[in-house]
Amino acid sequence: MFRIGDFSRIARVSCRLLRYYDEISLLSPHYVDGDSGYRYYSAAQLPRLNRILVLRELGLSLGQIARVMEDNLSPSELRAMLLLRRSDVERAVEAESDRLRLIEVSIAQIDNNGELSTDDVIMRSEPAHLFLSLRRTVDSFAHARVLIRELHEAVHGRVHSSALGSLVAVAHATEFEADLFDVEIGFTLTETVPVAPTGLILRELEPMHTAAVCVRVGPPEHAHLVTGRIGAFVEASGYELAGSNREFFLQRPRLDHTEDWVVEMQFPIRKRRVIPAQGQAGTLTAPVQFE
């Protein structure tokens, strides 16, 4: 019979931990003195404690460990738990590895540029939306204002304003240097509407499983700065573009004050299967070009 301090020294765990495991009934002392409340442990409890510690090291939660310990769980059930745990750990390893690459990209950014400029590019998923739009091919992206006005006129009076969501511009062109832009501009909808013969398209705006997004505050003339930044980020972090990008207007734009526009640029991306340069942070010196 050991008092808690001796037992903790023998088992190399803290007294606090033993009391905690007693509290949650994971490992109760062999005997508790009724008067003093002193806990007394026997050496025969060491195997149980060690088993707990081993399972803990495998990453099982104390709740799971309790299930393993209390009834003598069948080996196959334990096996199932371990399989579950294994897939969790596999995912965790992959997630941490991804994180590691992102960190290295950021360090390389600082080394090359003197500062961290990709800091506002973020990756997330984007759900599908119901979308009511106009599609045109124009010769200048600044022409967008005209399109927006046209869209407003087409929509005005036909759709209740409470059904309208955000203004979205989809860039269907994949060549960024081309002289012609295939642009689709419309509103997301919160409910379906009848589409009269107005030239308006009613469709689903595709969801993006993974999107690199960046918020731009300023006129469309500055878009290429953000575009380049996103491109560099996507390139460096082992992804590639996976479709046409689009711009979400987070504020209803005032057509005559383009410098106040608040636009979220969204680029669908996917993991590259081949990762070209797997080197250290400092070795990523070649200038990274977009597309």
Partner DNA sequence: CTTGACTCTCCCGTAACGGTAAACTTTAGG
Partner DNA sequence: CCTAAAGTTTACCGTTACGGGAGAGTCAAG
Which residues of this chain interact with a copy of itself, rule CB under 8 A?
10, 12, 43-44, 46-47, 50-51, 53-55, 57-59, 75-76, 78-79, 82-83, 85-86, 89-90, 92-93, 96-97, 99-100, 102-104, 106-107, 110-111, 114-116, 118-124, 214-215, 217, 250-251, 262, 264, 281
Question: In the chain, which ranges are E strands?
Answer: 2-3, 31-32, 39-41, 122-126, 129-138, 164-171, 181-189, 201-205, 208-217, 239-241, 245-249, 262-271
List the single partner that 37 binds among a copy of itself, DNA, none, CB under 5 to 8 Å by kind. DNA
CB of 223 to a copy of itself, least distance (A): 15
CB of 95 to DNA, least distance (A): 15
CB of 36 to DNA, least distance (A): 3
C-alpha to C-alpha distance for 185 and 133, rounded to whole angstroms: 5
In the structure encoding, which two tokens stand for residue 9, read together?
A: 């020294």
List the single partner that 86 binds among a copy of itself, DNA, none, CB under 5 to 8 Å by kind. a copy of itself
C-alpha to C-alpha distance for 102 and 118, rounded to whole angstroms: 11
List the single partner that 17 binds among a copy of itself, DNA, none, CB under 5 to 8 Å by kind. DNA
Per-residue b/e over 21-58, b at no fewer than 16 CB within 10 Å? bbeeebbebeeeeeeeeebebeeebeeebeebeebeee
List the single partner that 19 binds among DNA, a copy of itself, none, CB under 5 to 8 Å by kind. DNA
Instruction: Kindly tell me which of 14 and 251 has the beta carbon lying closer to a copy of itself.
Output: 251
CB of 149 to a copy of itself, least distance (A): 22
28 contacts 20 by C-beta, under 8 angstroms: no
Instruction: Kindly tell me which of 6 and 259 has the beta carbon lying closer to DNA.
Output: 6
**What are the φ/ψ torsions at residue 125 (nearest 5 degrees)?**
-100, 160
List the single partner that 85 binds among a copy of itself, DNA, none, CB under 5 to 8 Å by kind. a copy of itself
CB-count burial class (<10 Å; 0-12, 13-18, 19+) for 172: middle
CB-count burial class (<10 Å; 0-12, 13-18, 19+) for 12: exposed
Interacting residues toward DNA by CB under 7 A: 3-6, 14-17, 19-20, 33, 35-39, 56, 61-63, 162
Instruction: Kindly tell me which of 98 and 150 has the beta carbon lying closer to a copy of itself.
Output: 98
Instruction: Kindly tell me which of 53 and 173 has the beta carbon lying closer to a copy of itself.
Output: 53
Instruction: Kindly tell me which of 69 and 242 has the beta carbon lying closer to a copy of itself.
Output: 69
Instruction: Kindly tell me which of 4 and 232 has the beta carbon lying closer to DNA.
Output: 4
List the single partner that 62 binds among a copy of itself, DNA, none, CB under 5 to 8 Å by kind. DNA
Give CA separation, 194 vs 5, 75, 243, in Å: 77, 60, 29
In three-state secondary structure terms, 22 is helix
In the structure encoding, which two tokens stand for residue 211, read together?
A: 């999107």
Instruction: Kindly tell me which of 92 and 146 has the beta carbon lying closer to a copy of itself.
Output: 92
Q: Which residue intervals of 114-242 are DSSP H helices? A: 144-155, 223-236
List the single partner that 3 binds among a copy of itself, DNA, none, CB under 5 to 8 Å by kind. DNA
